Amino acid sequence: MQTKVVKKLVIAAAIVIAGAILVFGSMAIVSPGHTGVVVTLGKVSPNVLQEGIHFKVPFVQQVVKIDNRIRKLDVETEAFSKDLQTVSTRLAVNYRVDTAKSYSIYKNIGADYENVLVTPAVNEVLKAITAKYTAEESVTNRALISDGLVTGLNEKLNEIGLYVTDVNIIDFDFTEAFITAIEEKQVAQQQLLKAETEKQTKITNAQAAAQVKITEAEAEAKANQLLNQELTDKIIKKQFIEKWDGKLPVVDSGNGSIINIPEEILKDK
């Protein structure tokens, strides 16, 4: 009796478990920001499932979830610059999968599309752009290189259904020999700039001093001109009288006698 009861309980439990497996196996939940690609016995269906709860045939159909949100891909690679310097670059690439192309991407590339397609495309486009600039120009043109990467990657990937939204250059790194050469060049440029500044300062000071002398000479000449204009006969006579001590000048006649000059003569003068 007990054996029959146990058997019934086991059968009932098995039925419940099988039913639960069947129920859950026939449901597929697609999370927000994702799409579901339905695979029926290995065949990919073009009907892509949007976010929400969906039913499928258990054990026959499989729903592969594709992330359509913006994803970040870190890439570290090396390339050669225009002047044949080795440029080690670290990039952060933001991209997304077009929901309408989830089916074709999974069918033609598979779920590992990032490693199969995106990373090689980043390496290829970066090498092509880096070759357009010298190593030094790569540092000063980071924004142009970033924009070029976005444009080049979209030209390669948009048709497939992958869209690059942004590329950030996290770091450029060069060989020690190149870094030393750049530092020496910067020091030489700073010294040259300092020498040119000092030279220009001396020239400016000399020009200022010369201008001061010219100004002083012009002022003195103008003052003399004004003085000459003011020195009329009347002013000269007035100055003579102001400086006269009241004594009449005398002249030696040559024979030992002294002749007084009449005051009237002096007045006439």
Q: State mean pLDDT over 149-157.
A: 96
Residue 218 exposure: Cα atoms within 13 Å on the Cβ side? 6
What's the confidence (pLDDT) of residue 265? 47
| Residue of 69, 41, 68 lying closest to 57 (CA atoms) | 41
Q: Where are the domains of the chain?
A: 2-65, 71-174, 233-268
Report the distance separating Cα 233 and Cα 239, nearest Å. Answer: 10
What's the confidence (pLDDT) of residue 36? 92
Instruction: Give pLDDT tens digits for 240-259.
Output: 666 656 665 555 545 555 55
What's the confidence (pLDDT) of residue 254? 52
Report the distance separating Cα 161 and Cα 104, nearest Å. Answer: 8
Percentage of residues in the chain having pLDDT higher than 90:
33
Report the distance separating Cα 116 and Cα 100, nearest Å. Answer: 20
The answer, as to whether pTM is greater than 0.75, is no
Residue 62 has pLDDT above 60, yes or no: yes
User: pLDDT-based confidence at 269, cuts 50/70/90?
Assistant: very low
* SS3 call for 94: strand
Looking at residue 98, its amino acid is D
Report the distance separating Cα 210 and Cα 203, nearest Å. Answer: 10
Name, in order, each residue with C-beta under 8 angstroms of 36's C-beta and a sequence gap of 6 or more.
28, 30, 48, 49, 50, 54, 63, 64, 65, 66
The dotted CATH code for 71-174 is: 3.30.479.30
What's the confidence (pLDDT) of residue 268? 47
256: tokens are 């030992």
Residue 160 vs residue 19, higher pLDDT: 160
Report the distance separating Cα 133 and Cα 140, nearest Å. Answer: 10
